[in-house]
Amino acid sequence: MTGALPASQGLLLRGCRWILLDLGRTLYVTAPCCSRLLSSTFQASRSSSRTSLLTDTCAVRGAALWRRLRSVSTFLWGYGAALRRRLQSVSTFLWGYGAQPHRLPHGLHNQGATCYLNSVLQVLVMTTEIHDRLDHDSQTDQQLKQIFEELKRKTCTTETITAAFGITNVHEQRDAPECLEMILNKISRRASEVFQGELTHTTECSKGHSINEETNPFWTLPLSLQDTHDTTYSVERSFERIFQQKSFSGDNMVYCNECEEKTEATSGCEMVKYPQILTLLFKRFDFDYRTMSYFKSHRCVDVPRTLQRKDKEYKLYGMVHHNGSLTGGHYTATILCSEDKTWYEFNDAHVSKVKRQPFAETSPYKSQTAYLLMYRGAE
């Protein structure tokens, strides 16, 4: 994304370009005046009765001064023109090299209550891994591709997207993670598989017999915000808990077909297929069995810049936030732009640079509103 050369840089170049030229021109014009002034003074001195050797000496020195001023002014006149040409070539080089400022990304107009859709679409725009995978023969794929291209030039509306994906009531508040999964279900498999991973769950008895083993695909990994005794919620620790082994004993023993009885057992989970884009979902909307009612958790979480699982490293590039309560709220997105490595806040049609850039320091990013985290697998 390019733009015009900043006004401050243009003024600086123009000022430097003409400063010596104007100095040379001024000296060139004023030197004859100085000479005429000295000459008239010396002539008056010569015609007076007090003419002496001193007046002759001054006249000689005045003429020498005039010649020296003229030579200096001529030099500066030529040097100023040369400097102007030099600065012009430098400014032309900078213009061609791309020294223009980076323009803000464009936003999406809200049709009523489609902030959930706008936030998800902005994340998909920055997920360049799917752009070349969109199918030319798929209507939904082509609608996505079209809005991706339009967002490079202007702020867009989403009527064609809502029509293509069957969103009929644009004034109904919906869930952003559900919207993401709906889109991934309706676009081509080749495009959606960028987000797809696989988990294998196994259960073995104490004698090593396999009780159960199943492999399931996933697009998002849910992280519970409850049942943790940590004073600070760590995404890294919660992510690792997914893969921790669980033991079954006592009243929780599991029946083993080969042992033909209930036995102690262990169960575990392993990621057998790593997605290119790893999406973590905080279970902010949950059910409380004590009160038998739904609630929203505003628990603050420590979001890491990177996640590591065995030899696979992921780096955060997008976050979808929910601001509000269980009954209503507003979605925004915070996304890292790959072009200028800057985090931007996407709030429907309004886009702004995040004032306090996440991860500018070594400490984790803390948030009470983060709902979805999008991590990109390192090459």
DSSP-derived secondary structure for 79-123: HHHHHHHHHHHHHHHHHHHT-SPPPPPP-B--SSS-HHHHHHHHH
pLDDT of residue 364: 77
| Spatial contact of 280 and 373, defined as CB atoms under 8 Å apart | yes
Average pLDDT of the chain is 81
pLDDT of residue 229: 67
What pLDDT band is residue 227 in, cutting at 50, 70 and 90?
low
Question: Is the torsion defined by CA of 28, 34, 35, 37 positive or negative?
Answer: positive
Return the axis-axis angle of helices 115-126 and 176-186, rounded to nearest 10°: 60
Return the axis-axis angle of helices 139-150 and 176-186, rounded to nearest 10°: 120
pLDDT of residue 86: 57
Place of tokens 């006004």: 7
What pLDDT band is residue 18 in, cutting at 50, 70 and 90?
very low
pLDDT of residue 82: 57
Report the C-alpha gap between 170 and 188 in whole angstroms: 24
pLDDT tens string 121-168: 999 999 999 999 999 999 999 999 999 999 999 999 999 999 999 999
Report the C-alpha gap between 83 and 88 in whole angstroms: 8
pLDDT tens string 277-327: 999 999 999 888 889 999 999 999 999 999 999 989 999 999 999 999 988
pLDDT of residue 171: 96
* % residues pLDDT > 70 (the chain): 72
Q: Is the pTM of this model over 0.85?
A: no
pLDDT tens string 108-122: 999 999 999 999 999
Most confidently modeled of 27-36, 229-238, 245-254? Answer: 245-254
Mean pLDDT of 235-242: 94
- For residue 368, give the nearest of 238, 230, 225 by alpha carbon: 225
Least confident stretch, 54-58, 200-204, 237-241, 360-364: 54-58
**Other residues' Cβ atoms within 10 Å of the Cβ of residue 16:** 15
pLDDT of 333 higher than 70? yes
pLDDT of 62 higher than 70? no
pLDDT tens string 338-366: 899 999 999 999 999 999 899 877 677 99
pLDDT of 212 higher than 70? yes
What DSSP state is assigned to residue 156? B
pLDDT of residue 313: 96
pLDDT of 11 higher than 50? no
